[in-house]
Amino acid sequence: MTKPIIAVVGNGMVGHRFIEEMAGCSDFQLQVFAEEPRLAYDRVQLTRYFDNGNADDLALADPQDYQRQGVISHLSTRVLSIDTNKQALTCSDGQQYSYHTLVLATGSYPFVPPIPGREQPHIHPYRTIEDLQAIQHSATSSRVGVVIGGGLLGLEAANALNTLGLQTHVVEFAPRLMAVQLDDGGGTLLRQKIEQLGLTVHTDKATQSIDASPDGPCRYRLSFADGSSLDTDMVVFSAGIRPQDHLARQSQLQIGERGGIVINDQCQTSNANVYAIGECALWQQRIFGLVAPGYQMAKVAAATIRGRQSAFSGADMSTKLKLLGVDVASIGDAHGNSPGALSYWFSDHANGLYKKIVVDDSGTKLLGAVLVGDASDYGNWLQLCLNQMPLPQPPESLLLPLPEEGGAAGSGVEALPDSAQICACHDVSKADLIDAIEAGACDLASLKSCTKAGTGCGGCGQLVGQLLDNRLEQQGLTVDRSLCNHFPYSRAELFDILRVREIKTFDALLNQCGQGRGCEICRPAVASMLASLWNDYILDDAHVGLQDTNDRFLANMQKDGTYSVVPRVPGGEITADKLIVLGQVAKEYGLYTKITGGQRIDLFGARMEQLPAIWRRLVDAGFETGHAYGKAMRTVKSCVGSTWCRYGVQDSTAMAIRIEHRYRGIRSPHKIKLAVSGCARECAEAQSKDYGVIATDKGWNLYVGGNGGMRPRHADLFATDLDDATLLTYIDRIMMFYVRTAERLQRTSVWLESLDGGLDYLKQVVIDDSLGLNAELERQMQTLVDRYQCEWKTTLDDPKRLKQFQHFINSRQSDDGVVFTEERGQIRPATIDIKESV
């Protein structure tokens, strides 16, 4: 039986997304018609073409993928007309094609104003790869280039000309750049920063003609309405877009007064069998010129065609960009057009910063914002706007938060509004903590006691401590940064004492520079430092008494007193045989099985006395401990990279495995997670990790200081296009410098923010060797690498240590307090009522 045909006219980013949304649906035959000679590519990253002239780097699809999905593609084929009665397309190849359902994804075309002289050579639009090839060719015989249009695409085009080495001018009809997204203040600063890069900006300029200039210094002369002129060798038009709706007009589909194919909430046109998506579609009198709304339309259209309920309800047009190296962001009602809207702004032209917020007449809701020069607040402000969250009072405090000690303005605990929830377990806000401190809770123990913050899961403990220190220092009090009452030194100072004096046990350190017998703070902290320095077996007699429960039993204790077992799976790569062993172990011991976010398999519900037997099975199968229980290097997540993925430019899996094998087991002030992505699509989510690695066509980009958790933070770009050896050398140095200088239980993100000088200082230390430490940091890392051991295997080989894995000293019986119930076919800890009924 012949399948009904879905014809997709247009194979831009949105047309391709529709095909992706239909993947896996075998009920239809998809045929796509593309005017261009290649399948879909990334127009958002169009200027990347000038990096190496390789269009394949921008590709979103390839013929093999479409063929595997059963998609028939017609390249270099223009659809000339549509007969909606006969449901047929007439195309430039002389053929007619029937369809059952039609999807118009024709996008838009660049608007070229009717300026006399626009048809001459070396005058180009800026829209396709062919346009870029023509621009590149003209640039070889040009010295000066002009872009007409100072919007987003115009500035992208200007960046292209600047990259090609031309003296570049931007001509904009409006009084400022990016008039749709920015206000006067933001546009003024953006202009200033662009002109500092050597480009010249002309605003309030209406181009009247483009005339040949045979006697002048350049090919052409642009004449403006105000009587001025500008000489140039080439012109690029980027003066806006218009919906590509001519096919729909010919087919008598409903068109908006100013263009655009009218659609309903299901993206259907006036003919219910014809859909329109992307920049050609007009929804409630609006054309959406960003790709994200087009993707939403593609999803809705695909769902509707497949008989599912779905509706397009508009899209937020907020955007964050980097234009010619300048951060620019616009949120919501950036111009304050809402009734009663109030605006606040901060301008620092000396440092190249502009921030503006638009709030409602009550000052409690964020309606819009503009950011130029620093868009780090974009994520938080966008959430405030989209979710209509209450603003801190007064609202202008968003613009000028006080800096955290050692950090940049707007970062750290001081940047959080008073309403920010610090402790989710007990719903404690920043204001609650401040009130408690003002009432006399001037140490961490008393602050936790009276607010309960940090006494739940413990994830907020460090932030609570930072807030306490910050508040006390604001009151003019001296903050004691000693590790605890037993050592009058900070963690970093103690680490240096251990290193310089080569102290290798807690008792020796206590005798030389401490007092008492230690506590639950200093004992595990010193244990971690000793492991970071000497990498001895942590269950040796000298160390075992220092470890917390997880490290002592080399497993993560769960809420019911059982343990989870997490073997290392480097880079997420695992053989079928090892996968089978994990299943066999889970089945034999009745364990709950969970695939973690770090590409590992976690086995929950193991009793203490079962741990050695489980480890034996895993070690014999070639597994080793994943150190999920330690403040150590945990995982290195990866995608499949260039080995399998059509977008991959480097072998990310091989690099992830290499990194994981190098840093496995290394103890640090807090857990460390890494990831390696094989291309800029970022499937491994590297920028949310402590150390993130993203492949480029020239090597690797290294990011530092990211993390998820209660206060997520994107990592900062540290270095670009590194070869393999340099990448590992930089990670060696950064990781050891972090281990040396961070505070107890301090994540790399907070550590980076606390460095005096931040990222630039870290670059000076690691790249420029400003402290003369690099050789020593590398030696320390290599010592740890050379001394690696699987702690499970070492324990299995030590009968003395195996004796500790039983619940009772005088009996081998299990703990009868451990009770499970079943849920979704697996065990889980029983609730109290179930336990009482057993």
Q: pLDDT by residue (tens digit) across 475-488? A: 777 677 788 889 98
For residue 209, list its beta bridge partners: 223
pLDDT at residue 305 is higher than 60: yes
Query: pLDDT tens digits for 381-429?
Result: 876 787 677 888 888 888 865 333 333 333 345 656 676 656 644 557 7
Q: What is the pLDDT of residue 837?
A: 59
9 neighbors 99 (Cβ within 8 angstroms): no
385 is in an annotated binding site: no
Q: What is the pLDDT of residue 416?
A: 60
683 is in an annotated binding site: yes
For residue 826, the SS3 value is strand
645 is in an annotated binding site: yes
pLDDT at residue 312 is higher than 50: yes
pLDDT category at 829 given cuts 50, 70, 90 is confident
Upper half-sphere CA count for residue 301 (Cβ side, 13 Å): 36
pLDDT category at 441 given cuts 50, 70, 90 is confident
280 is in an annotated binding site: no
564 neighbors 558 (Cβ within 8 angstroms): yes
Distance CA 91, CA 77 (A): 6
Phi, psi values for residue 83, rounded to 5° = -105, 100
pLDDT at residue 311 is higher than 80: yes
Query: pLDDT tens digits for 535-576?
Result: 999 999 899 989 888 888 899 888 778 889 999 999 889 999
260 neighbors 243 (Cβ within 8 angstroms): yes
Q: What is the DSSP letter of 625?
A: B
pLDDT at residue 766 is higher than 80: yes
pLDDT at residue 44 is higher than 80: no
The distance from CA 32 to its chain's CA centroid, rounded to whole angstroms, is 32
Alpha-carbon distance values, 93 to 9, 63, 717, 813 (Å): 14, 19, 48, 81
- CA-nearest of 687, 719, 624 to 674 is 687
Q: What is the pLDDT of residue 199?
A: 92
Tokens coding 214: 């045979």
pLDDT at residue 652 is higher than 90: yes
pLDDT at residue 821 is higher than 70: yes
Average pLDDT over residues 99-104: 96
Q: What is the pLDDT of residue 405?
A: 33
Q: What is the mean pLDDT of the chain?
A: 87
Alpha-carbon distance values, 719 to 715, 726, 768 (Å): 12, 10, 12
Q: How far apart are the first and last CA of the chain?
A: 59
Long-range contacts of 683-686 (CB under 8 A, 24+ apart): 683/639, 683/645, 684/637, 684/638, 684/639, 684/652, 684/656, 685/637, 686/637, 686/715
Q: What is 633-789's CATH topology?
A: Sulfite Reductase Hemoprotein; domain 1 (3.30.413)
Phi, psi values for residue 496, rounded to 5° = -65, -35
Average pLDDT over residues 513-529: 90
CATH entry 3.50.50.60 includes domain 123-239: yes
pLDDT category at 379 given cuts 50, 70, 90 is low
547 neighbors 527 (Cβ within 8 angstroms): yes
Which CATH number applies to 554-625+790-838? 3.90.480
Q: Are 5-109+243-305 and 123-239 equal in CATH topology?
A: yes
- CA-nearest of 343, 316, 344, 340 to 330 is 316
CB neighbour list of residue 760: distance below 8 Å, 6 or more residues apart: none
Question: Is the dihedral angle over the CA atoms 225, 226, 232, 238 positive or is it negative?
Answer: negative
Average pLDDT over residues 746-775: 91
For residue 334, the SS3 value is coil
The distance from CA 96 to its chain's CA centroid, rounded to whole angstroms, is 45
pTM, two decimal places: 0.51
Average pLDDT over residues 801-829: 75
Show the DSSP H helices in 69-183 as ranges. 129-139, 152-163
Tokens coding 748: 């790399």
Query: pLDDT tens digits for 783-805?
Result: 999 999 999 999 999 988 888 88
Asked, as a colleague might, if the bond just before 394 is cis with ω within 30 of 0, I would say yes
61 neighbors 16 (Cβ within 8 angstroms): yes
pLDDT at residue 658 is higher than 70: yes
pLDDT category at 757 given cuts 50, 70, 90 is confident
The percentage of the chain sitting over the pLDDT mark of 70, rounded to a whole number, equals 92
714 neighbors 706 (Cβ within 8 angstroms): yes
DSSP per-residue letters across 697-762 = TTEEEEEES-B-SSS-BPPEEEEEEE-HHHHHHHHHHHHHHHHHHPPTT--HHHHHHHSTTHHHHH
247 neighbors 82 (Cβ within 8 angstroms): yes
Rounded to 10 degrees, what is the CA torsion of 497, 498, 503, 506? 110
Q: What's the order of all strands across the beta sheet hosting 220-224?
A: 207-212, 220-224, 229-232
Q: What is the pLDDT of residue 421?
A: 55
Tokens coding 152: 């987003």
- Map out the domains of the chain as residue ranges: 5-109+243-305, 123-239, 319-400, 491-553, 554-625+790-838, 633-789
pLDDT category at 826 given cuts 50, 70, 90 is confident
Average pLDDT over residues 650-674: 94
Which CATH number applies to 5-109+243-305? 3.50.50.60
pLDDT at residue 453 is higher than 90: no
The percentage of the chain sitting over the pLDDT mark of 90, rounded to a whole number, equals 54
For residue 263, the SS3 value is strand
Distance CA 398, CA 385 (A): 13
Q: What is 319-400's CATH topology?
A: Enolase-like; domain 1 (3.30.390)
Average pLDDT over residues 761-768: 95
The distance from CA 22 to its chain's CA centroid, rounded to whole angstroms, is 26
Query: pLDDT tens digits for 340-371?
Result: 999 998 887 777 789 999 999 999 999 999 99
Query: pLDDT tens digits for 128-169?
Result: 889 999 999 999 999 999 999 998 888 888 988 988 889 999
Q: What's the order of all strands across the beta sheet hosting 234-237?
A: 123-125, 234-237, 144-148, 167-171, 200-202
Report the 10 Å Cβ neighbour count for 250.
12
pLDDT at residue 813 is higher than 70: no
Q: What is the pLDDT of residue 816?
A: 67
